[in-house]
Amino acid sequence: MATLSEKEAEAYLDARPRYPIDWFKKIAAKTQGHNLAWDVGTGNGQAAIGLVEHYDNVVATDINEAQLKRAVKHSKISYHHTPKDMSEDEMVSLVGGENSVDLIVAAQALHFFDLDTFYNVAKRVLRKQGGLIATWVYNDIIISPEVDPIMKGLVDSTLPFRTPIMNLAFEGYKTIPFPFESIGMGSEGKPVTLDIPHKLSLKGFIGFLRSWQPAMKAKEHGVELVDEKLISKFEEAWGDENQVKDVSYKAHMIVGKIPEMRCESEDINKDLLLQTEVGKKQERRQPSDDEENRQSKKQNTSEDEEC
């Protein structure tokens, strides 16, 4: 993500929604522990603040200091700047150490990350038992029948400037890799779609457009998509400039856990069951010597290792 200037960071703070409290409630109800949550790419703490209700400690990190300066303060949240060159080991220990985090949240941020590096760290810090990782992105906003067609025109005009990173967001995380096991709240390739209700003023909306990545990218190419002419059109369509509107952001969420390690003996038992059912009338198959050896070896191992 291009680093936001002070002015853009200010506009970002005005316009971005906080997330529905019941999202945090539902996700937190599915983590086993409630000691530590990590909000990564926290921005101004929009997700971190939703976590304090459910976790004793929230570590919130971001690569951008301008964003952190404006982050919402809370005694349970500790904010940390994590520069790009921070090593994976440093990151793991800053967040809380191996196998320590009950919930990782990447809100509106995952598509900016180097995913291999992030997932390496996430898999190390996340609790193997009962830990969850949740991510979401919002990529559309429903305002009013007058404003929405103008917004659609603006969205279409960003096409030549979209980067692969932006496309991950435009595609609503349907194409983002997410190597975790589903817990029934979306899965890799199949996020669940949710609404974020939000109250938006005209000033906040214009701020949102000005801190909007695709528009900023076009600007880098010398094209001002959100120019004065377009702003006038939006102002006219908005109606009363002091009116705060009830709007809805369309969000896409995936929650997962570390894939469970499966024991070899479970596979052998499943094989046997399958074959027994297929050949119901056939005599029950006896395990081969080799399978028996593997099973008895595994039984011994499972007593020691709690497979």
Taking CB atoms within 8 Å and a gap of at least 24, the contacts of 18-25 are 18/46, 18/49, 18/50, 19/46, 19/47, 19/50, 19/107, 19/136, 19/196, 20/194, 20/196, 20/197, 21/50, 21/53, 23/50, 23/136, 23/194, 23/253, 24/50, 24/51, 24/53, 24/54, 25/53, 25/54
Position 8 contacts ligand SAM (CB under 6 A): no
- Give the Cα separation of 142 and 129 in Å (integer): 39
Q: Which stretch binds ligand SAM (CB under 6 A): 38-46, 90-98, 126-134, 153-161?
A: 38-46
**The binder of ligand SAM chosen from 31, 46, 57, 139 (CB under 6 A):** 46
**The binder of ligand SAM chosen from 64, 139, 158, 265 (CB under 6 A):** 64
Position 218 contacts ligand SAM (CB under 6 A): no
In angstroms, what CA-CA distances link 76 with 90, 102, 140, 151, 258? Answer: 22, 15, 32, 38, 26
Residues 94-113 contacting ligand SAM, CB under 6 A: 107-109, 112-113
Q: Which stretch binds ligand SAM (CB under 6 A): 63-71, 173-181, 184-192, 241-249?
A: 63-71
- Give the Cα separation of 188 and 255 in Å (integer): 9
Site string for ligand SAM, 110-149 (x = CB under 6 A): --xx------------------------------------
- Give the Cα separation of 40 and 61 in Å (integer): 5
**The binder of ligand SAM chosen from 13, 49, 63, 200 (CB under 6 A):** 63
Residue 31 or 108 with smaller CB distance to ligand SAM: 108
Task: Report, in Å, the least distance between residue 43 CB and ligand SAM.
Answer: 2
Task: Report, in Å, the least distance between residue 306 CB and ligand SAM.
Answer: 35
Q: List contacts with ligand SAM (CB under 6 A).
A: 1, 16, 40-43, 46-47, 61-64, 67, 82, 107-109, 112-113
